[in-house]
Chains A and B, each alone.
Chain A
């Protein structure tokens, strides 16, 4: 019992530290106007979230968050900044009272809604009483692979995942239509006259 409690205390402490960091980084993202710094902070934000997912034993999600949020997203955001501007433009300094009230009410409603949520890890929570037992108990027998996340994602929710793949594909089509394919044009071989230092090629 004592060991269990000590473990609980340690996990709670780690959670508190990480959530504090997360909140700090979040505030930093809102306050800082330098978009380069904001991009880096959003990568750090994703890494912290990934660690929190690991603590909740959601390793698959953590892997995705780390790879997408801290990896490719940061690269794409950096690309956007390189193409546009590095400083966020400030539109006026007047504070919008109406927006503040709307944000306050929405936030209060969301916090009020969390009071109805079941406690973390509560075995009686609806999420753990409906389909989860079926998946955890029968999937090794039915699908024959140990990683239940993969079983659910690829087999039980196969059509769902197909939808996700199509969404990703559609997103790529959208970006390609707006930005173009990005093929580096085969330029005529650079002569010494127009590109002496060879700076056209990075």
Chain B
């Protein structure tokens, strides 16, 4: 796709905006629509756009498949870790208010952390899925 100079320039401008917007949706989810699920998908969308224009190999150099696989599990583990942390602090599983002295602050803190876990897992899973499909395509195109 080297010949599409307009697409390349516009996407170079857009990709940082997409990434920032994904982070905004992620960390502003307590005040506005959004949260980990939506943010994760948007974050991946930026990588997908980049890969469509500059090739899968380029993207995989920035975000290797192994990292995506590890992070898919990592986000879920972060979520579960919060659950165990609340249990160690004397609450029930995922009872966030024991995390901080103030009940409300504890709840908010817990929600931010688990939303981060959700976002990491969703982004990494979506990227892994994309790699799985696109990787086979590249293999087949290489044709040997």
> Of the candidates B104, B117, B133, which one forms a contact with A182 in the assembled complex, judged by CB atoms under 8 Å apart?
B133
Given A154-B35, A161-B118, A168-B122, A181 and B69 touching (CB < 8 A)? yes
Best-buried of A165, A171, A180 by chain B (most CB within 10 Å): A165
> Which of A100-108, A113-121, A130-138, A144-152 lies at the interface?
A144-152
Q: A71-B42, A142-B103 are in contact. List 20 more A-B contacts (CB 8 A).
A: A63-B38, A67-B38, A71-B41, A72-B48, A75-B130, A76-B130, A79-B130, A145-B111, A146-B30, A154-B114, A158-B94, A162-B79, A169-B76, A172-B72, A180-B135, A181-B69, A181-B128, A181-B135, A183-B60, A202-B141
User: Which residues, 45 to 83 on A, are CB-close (under 8 Å) to B?
Assistant: 59-60, 62-64, 67-68, 71-72, 75-76, 79-80, 82-83
Give A contacts to B, CB under 8 Å.
59-60, 62-64, 67-68, 71-72, 75-76, 79-80, 82-83, 142-147, 149-151, 153-155, 158-159, 161-162, 165-166, 168-169, 171-172, 175-176, 179-185, 187, 200-202
Q: Report Cα–Cα, A108/B42, bound state, in Å.
A: 39
Q: Does A180 contact B118, Cβ atoms closer than 8 Å?
A: no
> Of the candidates A60, A150, A166, A179, which one forms a contact with B136 in the assembled complex, judged by CB atoms under 8 Å apart?
A179
Q: Does B104 contact A83, Cβ atoms closer than 8 Å?
A: no
Query: Which A residue's beta carbon lies closest to that of B34?
Result: A63
Q: Does B57 contact A184, Cβ atoms closer than 8 Å?
A: yes
Query: Which B residue's beta carbon lies closest to that of A202?
Result: B55
> Of the candidates A147, A172, A201, which one forms a contact with B29 in the assembled complex, judged by CB atoms under 8 Å apart?
A147
Can you list 7 A-B contacts with CB-CB less than 8 angstroms, sorted by A residue number? Answer: A72-B48, A82-B137, A147-B32, A150-B29, A150-B30, A171-B125, A201-B55
Q: Report Cα–Cα, A171/B141, bound state, in Å.
A: 26
Q: Report Cα–Cα, A145/B48, bound state, in Å.
A: 33
Interface string of B82-119 (1 = CB under 8 A from A): 01000000000110100000011101101100110110
Q: How far is the CB of A183 from chain B (nearest CB, A)?
A: 5
Given A165-B79, A171-B125, A76 and B133 touching (CB < 8 A)? yes
Q: Does B57 contact A201, Cβ atoms closer than 8 Å?
A: yes
Which range contains the number of B residues in contact with the other chain?
Answer: 35 or more
Q: Does A144 contact B138, Cβ atoms closer than 8 Å?
A: no
Query: Which A residue's beta carbon lies closest to that of B80?
Result: A162
Given A172-B129, A180-B132, A180-B135, A72 and B31 touching (CB < 8 A)? no
